[in-house]
Amino acid sequence: MYRIFFSLVFRRMDAEAAHRLAFRWIRLAARIPVLRTFLAAALAPRHEELRTEALGLRMHGPFGLAAGFDKNAVAVDGMTMLGFDHVEIGTVTGQPQPGNPGKRLFRLVPDRALINRMGFNNDGSLAVAARLASREAVFRTVVGVNIGKTKAVPEADAVADYVTSTERLAPHADYLVVNVSSPNTPGLRDLQATEALRPLLTAVREAAGRAVPGRRVPLLVKIAPDLADEDVDAVADLAVELGLDGIIATNTTIARDGLGLTSDPALVAETGGLSGAPLGERSLEVLRRLYARVGDRVTLVGVGGVRDAEDAWQRILAGATLVQGYSAFVYEGPFWARAVHKGLAARLRTSPYATLADAVGADVRKAAA
């Protein structure tokens, strides 16, 4: 049903306009008590065997919404209603900013992919922090907060910008993510180099400790799939050295060659980060490499190219305790999270693993044995 609707309505609309319309419907449904209860029962049934503990947090399952969909924390309950076990909001910057000029979001329908050059459009950390502080949760869920650098802030002042966002947002975050991997903010990816990343993560950790003295806010870093293998290893080693809680692998890619893209070449040539199915293979490679390096010492979150339950299961076997998605939601619609959960539960039941935690990294361990 949704695929027919997508073809007849959303596909004919500008991608960003369609996103705003769908987002408005989700938020509206979550405000109507009877409707949201009915939708949550239909779209978010719980599977006891999928219950997950990660980052010191308990979740109904491992499958969450990646950052980028709810940039301003306006639809956390709506996305939970649709079945996501955790919701990562953002990316939020120290100052509000409109992002890049349109047109800036493109669908590659034959490839089940998106290209975006949104540029961290968001209300800014002060407004988002106030929204989270005043939120009256309808559904219990884990809320991650993804922070990035304000475009107007020079790279030399990047650490202070992240610290400002951390001090404002950490009290309202179940976990905090430092995003240094979006391709749409000039110079941002330079912060992935360990000599720049070490002082940044250290400052953010200290700021979170000051802002929330009675609770350790889990801290993660999100990396790009375009890092060379030796740079992936360097980030993994740094995460262990600093006692980082997690790594999210991966963000969007600037690559186009070798991805087997079949969409209109004019669309493929658009600048920005590509997400969706074509990213899956490289994202999985990075995840396996990270798990081989850090094992169980750092929680890994697999994102990028997750289309269905099989993709989510492969991420878990490759070392991901948590899995996230976004692009496939655009193409699969409101029953997507339900289908992923159902498929994961079925795969776990027919696997040799007693629990989901036992399956985490099993393929990597097996290959190393």
Alpha carbon 86 to its chain's center: 10
CB 5 within 8 A of CB 18: no
Antiparallel, parallel or unpaired: β 142-148 and 246-249: unpaired
Q: What is the pLDDT of residue 277?
A: 98
Question: Among the options 182, 263, 275, 351, which is catalytic?
Answer: 182
CB 96 within 8 A of CB 348: no
Alpha carbon 169 to its chain's center: 17
As a whole number of angstroms, the distance between CA 276 and CA 55 comes to: 26
pLDDT at 221 over 90: yes
The CA distances from residue 264 to 103, 324, 329, in Å, are 16, 27, 21
- The mean pLDDT value for 190-213 works out to 96
User: Binding site residues, as ranges?
Assistant: 67-71, 91, 116-120, 146, 179, 184, 222, 250-252, 276, 305, 326-327
Question: DSSP for 288-333?
Answer: HHHHHHHTTSSEEEEESS--SHHHHHHHHHTT-SEEEESHHHHHH-
Q: What is the pLDDT of residue 52?
A: 98
Tokens (6 digits) for 62: 């491992």
As a whole number of angstroms, the distance between CA 315 and CA 313 comes to: 5
Which residues touch 119 (CB under 8 Å, ≥6 apart)?
Answer: 97, 99, 100, 104, 151, 184, 185
- The mean pLDDT value for 262-289 works out to 98
pTM of the shown model: 0.97
Beta strand extents in 161-267 (DSSP E only) = 175-179, 219-223, 246-249
- The mean pLDDT value for 354-365 works out to 98
- The mean pLDDT value for 92-106 works out to 97
CATH architecture of 2-368: Alpha-Beta Barrel (3.20)
CB 318 within 8 A of CB 361: yes
In this prediction, residue 259 has a pLDDT band, given cuts at 50, 70 and 90, of: very high
Respond yes or no: is residue 182 known to be catalytic: yes
pLDDT at 369 over 90: no
Query: Taking each helix axis from N to C terminus, what angle separates 158-169 and 194-211, rounded to the nearest 10 degrees?
Result: 30
CB 103 within 8 A of CB 267: no
- The mean pLDDT value for 340-364 works out to 98
As a whole number of angstroms, the distance between CA 223 and CA 332 comes to: 26
User: Binding site residues for FMN, as ranges?
Assistant: 67-71, 91, 146, 179, 222, 250, 276, 305, 326-327
Q: What is the pLDDT of residue 257?
A: 93
| All structural domains of the chain with their residue ranges | 2-368
The CA distances from residue 203 to 71, 129, 321, in Å, are 23, 19, 26
Q: DSSP character for 66?
A: P
Alpha carbon 270 to its chain's center: 22
As a whole number of angstroms, the distance between CA 62 and CA 72 comes to: 23
SS3 263: coil
- Closest by alpha carbon to 96, among 159, 156, 161? 161
Antiparallel, parallel or unpaired: β 246-249 and 219-223: parallel
Tens-place pLDDT, residues 145-194: 999 999 999 999 999 999 999 999 999 999 999 999 999 898 899 999 99
User: Binding site residues for substrate, as ranges?
Assistant: 71, 116-120, 179, 184, 251-252
CA angle 126, 224, 232 (to 5 degrees): 120
